[in-house]
C-alpha cells in the first residue's frame, strides 16, 4: 500500500486558523480527487463538529485508551451538513481525549500509538491531515513524530509567531533529527492593515522562517461557515475562502512532493 503524506496543523496560539486550514485543505484535496483522512487531535473537537462528527460514540480517545483498538471503527465519512463529502473521511475527537492522552503515558510504545494505528487502516489514503491542539501532549507528540509537513498558520498578531521555536524544538527532540519540513501560512491577511502586516512580516523575516507564497485573506465568510458548522470551501464555494485554500493546497502538494523527491 502506498504511504500517505501526513500534514499536521500546529501553533501554540489559538484562533490562528489551524482548524479552518485543516478542514479547508482537506476539502480541497478531496475535491482534487485525493483520498483524504483528517484526524482531530484537539479535545475541543472543533473540526469534528464542523464535519458533522461531533457526537460519535467512538473517537480517537479509544485508540489512546487501547492501542490495539480497531482504528477502522473510528473512521467516518466527513459531512457537510447531512451530505457526505466525497473522498473525505474523519477520525473525530471529543473532550475525553485530554485525560486519555495523559494516561496513555503508561504504555511502552506510547509515542507510536498513532503511527501503529494508521498502519492498520484498511482503506489507503493519499493524504492524512491532523488538527493539533495548542499545547503539546502525548497525542500531539505522536502526530509530530510521523508528520511529513508541519503547517503553521499565523494570523496578523505577533503572538502567533511566539511559540514556533518551542514547537520546532519539540519536533527535533521527538524525531531526534534536525530535519523536518514546515511552512508558515499567513491567515486573516488584510492588506488594508499595512502596519500590522509590516510588523508580522518583519518578525518572520528576522527569524528566517519559511512561509508559503499563498496568503489566506481575511473574510467574514469564514466566521459564518464556522457558525453554521460547515467547511469554508463548501460554504463559500465561489469566493475567496475556497480560492485561497485551493491555491494553498496546490502549493503544499508541491512542497511535500519536492521534499520526498517525487
Ligand atoms: N482567513 C480568515 N478570515 C477571517 N476569519 C477567519 C479566517 N480563518 C479563520 N477565521 C475564523 O477565526 C476563528 C478561529 O479559527 P480556527 O480555525 O478555529 O483557529 P484555531 O484552530 O487555530 O484555534 C474561527 O471563527 C474562524 O472562522
Ligand atoms: Mg482549532
Q: Tell me which residue of 169, 162, 250 sits closest to 214, measured CA to CA.
A: 250
- 17 Cβ closer than 6 Å to some ligand 1 atom: yes
Asked whether 218 and 233 are in contact (CB, 8 A), the reply is: no
Q: pLDDT, tens digit, for every residue of 163-175?
A: 999 999 999 999 9
- What pLDDT is recorded for position 262? 63
- What pLDDT is recorded for position 1? 60
Per CATH, domain 5-257 is 3.40.50.920: no
Given strand 182-186, what is the order of strands in its sheet?
Answer: 76-80, 83-91, 36-41, 127-132, 5-9, 149-154, 182-186
Centroid of ligand 2 to alpha carbon of 4 (angstroms): 23
Q: How far apart are CA 19 and CA 93, in angstroms?
A: 13
Q: pLDDT-derived band of residue 194, with 50, 70 and 90 as boundaries?
A: confident
Asked whether 240 and 219 are in contact (CB, 8 A), the reply is: yes
Q: How far apart are CA 201 and CA 208, in angstroms?
A: 10
What average pLDDT does this structure show over 201-223?
A: 95
Of 19-23, 122-126, 176-180, 198-202, the poorest mean pLDDT is in 198-202
Please, where are the H alpha helices in the chain?
18-31, 46-50, 60-65, 97-103, 113-119, 138-146, 164-175, 194-207, 220-227, 232-235, 240-259
- 44 Cβ closer than 6 Å to some ligand 1 atom: no
Which residue's CA lies nearest to atom 27 of ligand 1?
223
What average pLDDT does this structure show over 69-97?
A: 97
Q: Which residues of 105-143 are buried (b: 16+ CB within 10 A; e: fewer)?
A: eeeeebbbbbeebbeebeeebbbbbbbbbbebbbbbbbb
Q: Give the SS3 label for residue 76.
A: strand
Please determine, for residue 37, whether its predicted confidence score (pLDDT) is greater than 70.
yes
Per-chain mean pLDDT for the chain: 95
Please determine, for residue 143, whether its predicted confidence score (pLDDT) is greater than 90.
yes
- 189 Cβ closer than 6 Å to some ligand 1 atom: no
Asked whether 77 and 129 are in contact (CB, 8 A), the reply is: no
- What pLDDT is recorded for position 197? 83
- 249 Cβ closer than 6 Å to some ligand 1 atom: no
Compare 1 and 216 and report the one with higher pLDDT. Answer: 216
Please determine, for residue 64, whether its predicted confidence score (pLDDT) is greater than 90.
yes
Please determine, for residue 101, whether its predicted confidence score (pLDDT) is greater than 90.
no
What average pLDDT does this structure show over 78-100?
A: 96
What average pLDDT does this structure show over 76-99?
A: 97
Best residue among 12, 17, 45 to mutate for probing ligand 1, ranked by most atoms within 8 Å of CB:
17
Which residue's CA lies nearest to atom 24 of ligand 1?
223
Asked whether 74 and 58 are in contact (CB, 8 A), the reply is: yes
- What pLDDT is recorded for position 2? 78
- What pLDDT is recorded for position 199? 86
Q: Tell me which residue of 173, 168, 150, 174 sits closest to 207, measured CA to CA.
A: 168
Asked whether 107 and 113 are in contact (CB, 8 A), the reply is: yes
What average pLDDT does this structure show over 19-34?
A: 98
- What pLDDT is recorded for position 191? 85
Kindly state the percentage of the chain with pLDDT values over 90: 90
Going from N- to C-terminal start, the domains of the chain cover: 5-257
- 216 Cβ closer than 6 Å to some ligand 1 atom: yes
Amino acid at each position: 500500500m502506498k504511504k500517505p503524506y501526513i500534514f499536521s496543523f500546529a501553533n501554540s496560539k489559538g484562533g490562528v486558523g489551524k482548524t479552518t486550514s485543516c478542514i479547508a485543505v482537506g476539502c480541497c484535496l478531496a475535491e482534487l480527487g485525493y483520498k483524504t483522512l483528517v484526524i482531530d487531535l484537539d479535545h475541543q473537537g472543533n473540526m469534528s463538529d464542523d464535519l458533522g462528527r461531533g457526537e460519535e460514540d467512538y473517537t480517537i480517545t479509544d485508540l489512546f485508551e487501547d492501542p490495539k483498538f480497531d482504528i477502522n471503527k473510528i473512521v467516518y465519512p466527513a459531512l457537510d451538513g447531512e451530505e457526505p463529502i466525497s473522498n473525505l473521511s474523519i477520525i473525530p475527537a471529543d473532550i475525553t481525549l485530554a485525560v486519555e492522552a495523559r494516561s496513555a503515558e503508561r504504555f511502552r510504545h506510547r509515542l507510536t500509538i498513532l503511527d501503529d494505528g494508521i498502519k492498520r487502516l484498511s482503506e489507503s489514503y493519499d493524504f492524512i491531515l491532523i488538527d493539533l491542539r495548542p499545547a503539546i501532549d502525548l497525542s500531539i507528540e505522536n502526530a509530530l513524530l510521523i508528520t511529513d509537513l508541519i503547517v503553521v498558520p499565523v494570523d496578523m498578531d505577533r503572538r502567533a509567531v511566539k511559540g514556533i521555536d518551542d514547537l520546532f524544538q519539540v519536533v527535533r527532540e521527538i524525531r531526534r533529527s534536525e530535519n523536518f519540513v514546515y511552512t508558515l501560512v499567513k491567515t486573516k491577511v488584510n492588506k488594508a492593515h499595512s502596519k500590522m502586516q509590516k510588523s508580522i512580516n518583519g518578525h518572520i523575516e528576522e527569524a528566517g522562517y519559511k512561509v508559503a507564497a499563498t496568503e489566506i485573506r481575511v473574510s467574514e465568510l469564514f466566521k459564518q461557515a464556522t457558525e453554521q458548522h460547515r467547511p469554508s470551501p463548501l460554504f463559500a464555494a465561489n469566493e475567496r475562502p475556497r480560492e485561497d485554500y485551493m491555491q494553498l493546497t496546490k502549493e503544499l502538494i508541491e512542497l511535500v512532493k519536492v521534499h520526498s523527491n517525487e
